[in-house]
Structure 1
Amino acid sequence: MKILVLGAGVVGTAAAYSLAKDGHEVTVVERHEIAARGTSYSNAGLVSPGDATAWASPTALRTFLRALYNHDLGIKVRLRFDPYFLAWSMRFLRQCTQERLRANTAVKLRLALYSRDCINAISDETGIGYDERRKGILYFFRSQQSLDTGTDNYRFLAEHGLPIEIVDRNRLVELEPGLAGAKDKIAGGVYSPIDQTGDSRQFVERLAAYCAEKLGVTFRYGTAVEGLDIEGDAVRRVMTSAGPLSADAVVISMGPESGLLGRRYGIDLPVYPVKGYTATLPLEDENKGPTMGGADEDQLIAYSRLGNRLRLASTAEFTGFDRSYRPSDYAAMFRTAKDLFPGAFDEKKAELWAGLRPMMPNSVPVIGRAKYRNLYLDTGHGHVGWTMACGSGRFLADLVAGRKPEIDPQGLVYKG
């Protein structure tokens, strides 16, 4: 079957790989001149089932409302006239119950655990390296109160299959010597030994090259998707800046732009962009940096060790499709990183970046057939797209082939 995949980020490229492995003739359409130049270019670098807790929760509801007037929080909401954001917010607020938090988190964790295995299987099969470290991730807290409160979500993840170890500050520094200088500022945390880290951009670029060279996948870079040509109950062609492209099936994996395209054709796809900021810094002294990934849960900053580089990530900002940033946006991030890893980096050498996470109100991605018999979705992965992409791609390939998926599809198959 001829399949068009719209988008060459980590989600679209992983889908192309799984579909091509099934023997389909796959073409990927990407508006940038190379793969992984949108959302997948720079993220926290965490492959993190331990971060599978859904955003929408009773606590998030309070934080979300505070963010309307307090812009110093890790979550920032810029008030503006945006009917789409208002509609998304209403859906988000309906998910902010304890019952929905647990249900959405269980689905995310199931996919995240599966996807982590898929990432490693792809890497082992193709020989792709991406500055990966399979050493686990630490999620730590500054105060005993936040530790006691914060571990509740991790205990729920443990009950649903995630191995964890709740650690005090001494055990934490034993696991991560890089935090020795900040030991007295940390109460304790949660260690997820099966979590890992890696550079998503390297992974996508190298997987795209492998798909093209070994699996015959065609990548049409510098080609913007302009619309769909619908005839009856099917997509007949995809209209692009390079002309119309025909296929037997189409997959939308366009990150935050997926919602813009989908709703033009009556598809209920409430994907909204949420901006995040990252900084990538060369380590001045590798012995002073972290040896694994981590997250400061009180300061809402995540980090990864990528080879001889340190990746920092922070903030969830609701500001539409604005990708702009200023040096001041990184001040809190650098303060926290210097506090954790003094002498490890020079912030003047940072590569700064801001990108948009494609968030669903319930934090669960949408995968499967949508409205038209040959149109599929694989999008809406939010802040853990890197974690869930490869599992989503394999899950999608099973749906396209009519096979029973390797994991329980409950809560994952699109029903819009």
Structure 2
Amino acid sequence: MKVLVLGAGVVGTAAAYYLAKDGHEVTVLERHETVARGTSYCNAGLVSPGDATAWASPAALKTFFRGIFNHELGIRVRLQADPYFYRWSLRFLRQCTTERLRANTLVKLRMALYSLECINALSEETGIAYDQRRKGIFYFWRTQESFDAGARTYTFLGEHGLPIEIVGRDRIAEVEPGLAAAKNRIAGGIYSPIDQTGDSRQFAERLYAHSAGKFGVSFRFGTTVEGLEIEGDRVRAVRTSVGRIEADAVVLAMGPESGLLGRRYGIDLPVYPVKGYAITVPLEDEAKGPTMGGADEDSLIGYSRLGNRLRVSSTAEFTGFDRTHRPHDFAGIFKAAHDLFPGAFDQKKAEIWAGLRPMMPNSVPVFGQAKYRNLFLDTGHGHLGWTMACGSGKFVSDLVAGRKPDIDPAGLIYRN
């Protein structure tokens, strides 16, 4: 079949690889000049089933409302004249029960664990390198109260397939030597040994080159998707800035823009943009930097070691499609990075970035046919797009082929 993939972030690029490997004639449409120039450009670098806990929870409900009035928190809510923001917020709030938290978390964990297997198999098969480190991720808390609560959450993940180790303050520097200078300010943490890190932009760029070279995948950059041409119960063609392009099947993987396109054609797709901020800085003294990925859970800070670089990311800001940023937006990230890794880097050498995560109200990505027989979804991955990209690509390729997926699809398939 001729398959069009809309979007060349890490999710769309991975989908294109698996579809082409299946024998399809694949074309990827991307408005930017190359792959991974949107959400995938500069995330925290964590490939993290350990971060599968759904955002929507009773605790998040309180934080969401606090974020309306206090813009210094890790979650910031800027009220806006966008009726869809309020519709999305009501859906999010309805997911903030203990019952929904557990159900959504288990679906995310299932896909994240599967995707971890997929990315490792892909890397070994293709030889693609992306500054990956398979050393685990250390999740930690600053107070005993938050550590106790966090340990309960991770125990739930551990009971459902995630290997974990509870680490007290006395073993922090043993598990992560890079935190030796900060260990007295940390109450304890959870070590997830199967989690890993890597540069999603490197991965997408090299997977693009591999897919184009080995499978003949056509990437059309500088091509904006303008609409769909519908005929009966099928998408006949995609209208673009360079003309119409026909296809037998279309995969929608446009990140935060997926919802905008879908809703124009009667598809109830509640994907909403949530802005995140990140810095990337070379390590001046590598011995003072982390040896693995980590997350400061109280500060909502995630970081990774990418070669000789440190990547630190934070914040979930509800501000529509605004991608702008100011120096002040990164003050908390720099403060946390200096606190955790003093003397490891020169702040003046940092690259700063802000981008939008495509978030569903229940934090679970969505797949499958959407209203039209040949339109497939692969979107809504939120803060785990990098973690879930390869599993999602393999999963959607199975759906396009009409095969039974490798994992249970319950909770992942689109329902209008």
Tell me whether the two structures share a fold, i.e. TM-score over 0.5. Answer: yes
Shift of 1:153: 1.3
Point out where structure 1 has 5 or more consecutive residues left out of the alignment. none
Tell me the alpha carbon deviations over residues 42-78 of structure 1, each in whole angstroms, 9 at most, x when there is no partner: 0000000000000000000000011111111100000
- The 3-state SS of whatever aligns with 1:219 is strand
What is the CA–CA distance in structure 2 between the aligned matches of 1:229 and 1:384, rounded to whole Å? Answer: 31
What are the within-5 Å matches in structure 2 for residues 1-400 of structure 1? 1-400=1-400
What is the CA–CA distance in structure 2 between the aligned matches of 1:22 and 1:207, rounded to whole Å? Answer: 16
Shift of 1:299: 1.1
Shift of 1:80: 1.2
Shift of 1:169: 1.7
Point out where structure 2 has 5 or more consecutive residues left out of the alignment. none
Shift of 1:404: 1.1
Q: Which amino acid aligns with 1:396?
A: V
Q: Decide which moves more: 195-204 or 116-125.
A: 116-125
| Residue matched to 2:412 | 412
**Percentage identity across paired residues of the two chains:** 76
Q: Decide which moves more: 105-114 or 61-70.
A: 61-70
What is the CA–CA distance in structure 1 between the aligned matches of 2:145 and 2:177, rounded to whole Å? Answer: 24
What is the CA–CA distance in structure 2 between the aligned matches of 1:251 and 1:299, rounded to whole Å? Answer: 36
What is the CA–CA distance in structure 1 between the aligned matches of 2:257 and 2:118, rounded to whole Å? Answer: 25
Moved over 4 A (4+): none
Q: Which amino acid aligns with 1:373?
A: R
Q: Which amino acid aligns with 2:263?
A: R
- The 3-state SS of whatever aligns with 2:145 is helix
Tell me the alpha carbon deviations over residues 216-237 of structure 1, each in whole angstroms, 9 at most, x when there is no partner: 1000000000000011111011
Tell me the alpha carbon deviations over residues 115-135 of structure 1, each in whole angstroms, 9 at most, x when there is no partner: 011011111111100000000
What is the CA–CA distance in structure 1 between the aligned matches of 2:169 and 2:118, rounded to whole Å? Answer: 33
TM-score by length of 1: 0.99
What is the CA–CA distance in structure 1 between the aligned matches of 2:59 and 2:245, rounded to whole Å? Answer: 46
What is the CA–CA distance in structure 1 between the aligned matches of 2:20 and 2:70, rounded to whole Å? Answer: 48
RMSD: 0.6
Tell me the alpha carbon deviations over residues 151-175 of structure 1, each in whole angstroms, 9 at most, x when there is no partner: 1211111111000000012222101
Shift of 1:379: 0.3
Shift of 1:150: 1.4
Aligned residues, how many?
A: 416
Q: Which amino acid aligns with 1:229?
A: E
Q: Decide which moves more: 328-337 or 303-312.
A: 328-337
What is the CA–CA distance in structure 1 between the aligned matches of 2:329 and 2:67, rounded to whole Å? Answer: 16
Tell me the alpha carbon deviations over residues 5-38 of structure 1, each in whole angstroms, 9 at most, x when there is no partner: 0000011001001111100000000000100000
Q: Which amino acid aligns with 1:122?
A: L
What is the CA–CA distance in structure 2 between the aligned matches of 1:414 and 1:80, rounded to whole Å? Answer: 28
- The 3-state SS of whatever aligns with 1:81 is coil
What is the CA–CA distance in structure 2 between the aligned matches of 1:336 and 1:10, rounded to whole Å? Answer: 28
What is the CA–CA distance in structure 1 between the aligned matches of 2:9 and 2:295, rounded to whole Å? Answer: 24
What is the CA–CA distance in structure 1 between the aligned matches of 2:308 and 2:169, rounded to whole Å? Answer: 26
Q: Which amino acid aligns with 1:294?
A: G
What is the CA–CA distance in structure 1 between the aligned matches of 2:81 and 2:415, rounded to whole Å? Answer: 29
Tell me the alpha carbon deviations over residues 193-251 of structure 1, each in whole angstroms, 9 at most, x when there is no partner: 00000000000000001000001100000000000001111101100001000000001
What is the CA–CA distance in structure 2 between the aligned matches of 1:143 and 1:94, rounded to whole Å? Answer: 29
Tell me the alpha carbon deviations over residues 324-358 of structure 1, each in whole angstroms, 9 at most, x when there is no partner: 00111111111111111000001111000000000
TM-score by length of 2: 0.99
Q: Which amino acid aligns with 2:221?
A: Y
What is the CA–CA distance in structure 1 between the aligned matches of 2:41 and 2:223, rounded to whole Å? Answer: 18
What is the CA–CA distance in structure 2 between the aligned matches of 1:73 and 1:332, rounded to whole Å? Answer: 9
- The 3-state SS of whatever aligns with 2:60 is helix
Q: Which amino acid aligns with 2:96?
A: C
What is the CA–CA distance in structure 2 between the aligned matches of 1:44 and 1:385, rounded to whole Å? Answer: 11
